[in-house]
């Protein structure tokens, strides 16, 4: 349900923001920290998001 996906949406958008930061900052500074944070949130989102929710909030 949409009421249950609020936290999942937040995690999803955080993942997009971190992906954007990792792309722009990681290329210049090769920051392993941003890469780690990005994949950490990606793992969290993959664990918490169902396939049905992924279809709803996919951008």
Among candidate residues 38, 48, 47, the one with its CA nearest the CA of residue 16: 38
Which are the contacts of 42, defined by CB distance < 8 A and separation ≥ 6?
15
Q: What is the pLDDT of residues 2-11, one digit of tens each?
A: 455 667 777 7
Distance of CA 2 to the CA centre of its chain: 18
Q: What is the pLDDT of residues 48-58, one digit of tens each?
A: 555 555 444 44
16 in helix, strand or coil? helix
Among candidate residues 55, 17, 19, 21, the one with its CA nearest the CA of residue 39: 19
Which are the contacts of 19, defined by CB distance < 8 A and separation ≥ 6?
38
pLDDT for 23 beyond 70: no
């Amino acid at each position: 349900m949409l009421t249950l996906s609020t936290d999942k949406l937040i995690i999803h958008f955080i993942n997009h923001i971190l992906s954007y930061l990792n792309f722009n900052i990681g290329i210049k500074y090769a920051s392993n920290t941003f890469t780690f944070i990005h994949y950490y949130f990606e793992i969290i989102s993959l664990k918490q998001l169902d396939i049905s929710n992924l279809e709803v909030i996919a951008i």
